[in-house]
Amino acid sequence: MIRILALSVSLAAGSASAQAPSQAPAASSTADLAAHSSAAEPQAPTPKQALSRRWSFLEAAAKNDDYAGAESAMVDDLNLLISQSGASSDAAQARFLAASLEEREGLHEQAMVDLLHLLYEFPTADVSMQAQSMFQDIAKKRLPGRYKGAVANISQAASGSSSADRLAALSHLLVQDFGAELYGPIRGEIRGFMARFPDYSGMDRVQWDLVSLDEAKGNSQAALLEAREFLALYPRSALAEKAQFKLGALYARLGLYQKAVGAYQAFTAAYPQSPDAVSALSQIAAIFAEHLDQYEMAVKTDEMIVAQVSQGRPAAEALYQEAGLYDCRFLFFSCKLDDPSKALSVYQRIVNTGNLDFLDRKEAERVRSRINDLSKSGAKSQAPSQTVQPAAAGAGGQ
């Protein structure tokens, strides 16, 4: 813009010099004009002038075919303008224009998130109705039909609270309803929020949304990093309990089984009264049996569960897993210790819990039948030795 103004001044100077005496040297006239221009206007515009000129130029450039293919560069300039404009109406208009350019460029997911950001930060802006209509139009074309209800719900921006509160609510809704479809733009939205509102009182919830987003996407390594960072930053948060439990699940998902056991054990030590304490022990027992080949440790852990909850489904499930380690003919998929007498004892304890509801009807009947079979086998093995000798002799005679 400065160049355009300088060019206008230069042209005006040329017209004036044509009327001046011909003996006036051209070099002297140019120097005089430069000095005059410098005195009339500073070389650099004020920040307010720069913002105004940048917006005017970009608004015109977006409609100019000369800049077709330069949408990414224009969006970068618009994002700079947005960051400098703060919470002004110019920022709302710039964000709407940026979303329009992103849609034109084929960046549909980013366009949708930017439009929602506009709606939540500037719910009363002049372009808010256009933004809502544009978001719904893109979503209808680009998102699967199962998102129809979520699209209608999220586009009704909350009002009455601070812009930080509204944008934090937006991040949560995006993670909850659109994490799989809009992963990259949502992640950028959350990171942008963290940079812009570092003192936000609910930042632990925003950080937790980032953990949930990465986990839902299957990006377990990033989720692990975010969860560990969460615990480092917010050890007293109401969500710290969930974060510690999540560490165990993420380590296990990454195949880091010893670390998973350590994380679950840390959870049970820190939160012994948690409703998830038994679940953590169940995960430990499963890891010992299925991944670390430490079967006695699995049995020990299952017994810890029964000691904590002697009745009901958790105890029955723990005993069922323990029985599977002993009974190689029935639960062969998990059998490792092969001890029918111990298997019978554990099966009987399952029945004594009074709860086989965790099994379907057919499986529960199989357990009862297996108890009968093992009981009969046990009775035969305890029969007098003389009744066994003929059979052994007969077998040897053959």
pLDDT digits (tens, 9 = 90+) for 118-162: 999 999 999 999 999 999 999 999 999 999 999 999 988 766 689
Give me the pLDDT at residue 39, please: 54
Domain containing residue 124: CATH number: 1.25.40
CA dist list (Å): 13 to 26, 29, 117, 258: 11, 8, 48, 80
Listed as ranges, residues in the chain with pLDDT below 70 are 1-42, 158-160, 310-311, 329-335, 353-357, 378-398
Residue 149 in any domain: the answer is yes
Residue 107 in any domain: the answer is yes
**What count of Cα atoms within 13 Å lies in the side-chain half-sphere of residue 206?**
27
Q: pTM for this one?
A: 0.75
Cβ(329)–Cβ(360) under 8 Å?
no
The pLDDT > 70 percentage for the chain reads 80
Residue 137 in any domain: the answer is yes
Give me the pLDDT at residue 386, please: 46
Question: Which 8-state DSSP code applies to residue 18?
Answer: H
Give me the pLDDT at residue 48, please: 85
Q: Which residue range is the domain that position 100 belongs to?
A: 47-157
Residue 319 in any domain: the answer is no
Give me the pLDDT at residue 368, please: 81
Cβ(79)–Cβ(95) under 8 Å?
no
Give me the pLDDT at residue 55, please: 86
DSSP three-state, residue 233:
helix
Q: Report the chain's C-alpha Rg in angstroms.
A: 36
Residue 77 in any domain: the answer is yes
Number of domains composing the chain? 1
Give me the pLDDT at residue 169, please: 94
